[in-house]
Structure 1
Amino acid sequence: MGVQSSSNRDNLNIGEEVNFDHFQILRAIGKGSFGKVCIVQKKDTKQMYAMKYMSKSQCIERDAMKNVLKEMEILTTLEHPFLVNLWFCFQDEEDLFMVSDLLLGGDLRYHITQDVKFTEETIHLYAFELGLALDYLKT
């Protein structure tokens, strides 16, 4: 499921200036209130990510800019195998961009909404992973 992340922070060039031109858009995978999510590939490393881009004007119109910026601030400080990790943030004149792990199998919420029947062993595994992620977040 979501455990296979698309990247490893050790492969990143910390301090690297990144913008939209560093990525090739492969296909759209979702749409939200303020924008879309696409599968992208970083051109120099060929690494696959999910890129969420949000319209600045819509964020401002809906008085959500403060929350979006807080989300970015929090996510840039996190790195854990059971959380979706944010690798890059940048902006242009119109949009804000967040580049994060690509979860090819979908997240837990997706599988729950698909009415998937989980085995007891799988439920124990997810509960354990969730506990580890929550423990990481509280420290």
Structure 2
Amino acid sequence: MSKLIFVNLPVTDLARSIAFYEAVGARKNPNFSDDTAACMVFSETIHAMLLTHDKFRQFTSKPIVDAKAACEVLICVSEESRAAVDAAVETAVAAGGAADPTPTQDYGVMYGRSYEDPDGHVWEVMWMDPAAAAGGSPAA
């Protein structure tokens, strides 16, 4: 079995966050969701656990960072093309997110943009030329 990643995110409004993440392509797994948490599935290996602040506090004694005021993490996911990167950011904005809280990166063989969810968590979306990623020459 492949290793799975579960990114745990504290959210201020669980219903709003579920709607946002469904709009950007995740699906809610009801087996791991209740009125304090929602497991949002992006792929077979990538999941975001949306946790109310009370639920999040059960896992750490550290203060919860206000992601709109400070950056606690940058989460990066890949896309299949430059156009798909732009489409992902546009979809996030239409769902209530904010575009490009971090600088756009365009290195020819790699292209990336970002969006913030309604709580300020930053998701970077990137594409890398498959040949360059494999260590070969970039595709023409």
TM-score range (shorter-chain normalised) is under 0.3
Point out the structure with the larger strand share.
2
If each structure's helix is expressed as a fraction of its own residues, which one has the higher value?
Answer: 1
What TM-score comes out, normalization by structure 2 length?
Answer: 0.27
Higher relative contact order (CA 8 A, sep 6+): 1
